[in-house]
Amino acid sequence: MGGPFACYIKHMKWKEVVTDYFSFTRRERIGLLTLVCLIIVVFALPRIVARMQPQRIVAADTAWISAMRRMQIKEDNQKTDGGRNRGNDDFATDDSRGRPDGPQRVELTYFDPNTTELEQWQRLGINVKTAQTIRKYVEKGGKFRKPEDLKRIYSLPPTEYERIRPYVKIESGAEAFEQRKTSQYADGFTRSFPSPVDINVGDTAAFIALPGIGGKLAGRIVSFREKLGGFHSIDQLKEIYGLADSVFKKIAPLLLLNQYAVRQLNINTVTLEELKAHPYCKASLGNPIIAYRDAHGPFSTLEDLKKVMVITDEVFLKLKPYLRL
């Protein structure tokens, strides 16, 4: 047989095969669907469980890093403070060792024990109690006229005195004048010379008596002193307009200084006019200082002045002797 009939017979056979193998009863279909669902659950369950569990963050062990940093800082501090005299630790008080800010770096610079503040004594490596003793001695009227007078401070060990002795520079007092006079006239000849002048109390006549100082220069010195509120250093005379360096060197041995005559301005109550009248301030500094005080309130310390942008370290050191709280 051939033709269309044969094709129909062939088609019927395939249909029977498909029906026999791919026809399912209702129970078989339910079982097959259940099996498919189980397979899906088995594959998906681990991922679902992993997402439901909180992520555990494993912190890196950085303890050894912190330890290494502490060791490095300690070594750097030991190198930096290598010049500090070990003996200073032997007699340092508990106050100096136990300060919250820790030991300060020693800065050996020239200083006058009559004017050195507590903070500077500590920077020199002197412990707090000894520095306070020295300041109380000066505040009660005591005066160091020569470096050896520091030996009278009972709490200052001899080793510390020998360490700071080369940096003592006393710029005032009769002994200072005698030392300058001796160096000026130590050539074997007897000479007459003017009487010494205290630059904080001398009048124009006293300055005119000095070599190289005329009426105009004497008037400028007195005028500058009044505007400043007094001199705190003999070197300030170098700022006088018209005073040549050669003249200053000539008169320096004849100058004395009473630094306790310096007039100070209260930085929390001073007016803009008072600041503008001061030679070291003028309007360029007075205006920012008053503006900062108005915006932030009274200054807690003189060091707070450095927060004013125009106050550099150099300007601050120049102004500091003339300011107080």
pLDDT at 60 over 90: no
DSSP line for 246-287: HHHHHHGGGEE--GGG---EETTT--HHHHHHSTTTHHHHHH
Q: What pLDDT, on a 0 to 100 scale, did the predictor assign at position 220?
A: 92
pLDDT at 50 over 90: no
Average pLDDT across the chain, whole number: 75
Q: What pLDDT, on a 0 to 100 scale, did the predictor assign at position 74?
A: 60
pLDDT digits (tens, 9 = 90+) for 152-173: 888 888 888 888 888 888 865 4
Predicted model pTM: 0.44
pLDDT at 103 over 70: no
CA angle centred on 73, ends 69 and 77, rounded to 5°: 170
Average pLDDT over residues 246-262: 82
Contacts of 31 (CB under 8 A, 6+ apart): none
List the domains of the chain with CATH numbers. 87-167 (1.10.150), 174-261 (1.10.150.320), 265-324 (1.10.150.310)
Which of 12-26, 163-177, 304-318 has the highest average model confidence (pLDDT)?
Answer: 304-318
- Residue 272's CB: how many other CB atoms inside 10 A? 14
| Model confidence band, residue 221 (pLDDT cutoffs 50, 70, 90) | very high
User: Which comes out higher in pLDDT, residue 322 or 188?
Assistant: 322
Q: Which two tokens stand for residue 285?
A: 């500094």
pLDDT digits (tens, 9 = 90+) for 177-189: 555 445 444 444 4
Q: Which two tokens stand for residue 187?
A: 């050539």
Report which of 120, 93, 97 is spatially closest to residue 109, judged by C-alpha positions. Answer: 120
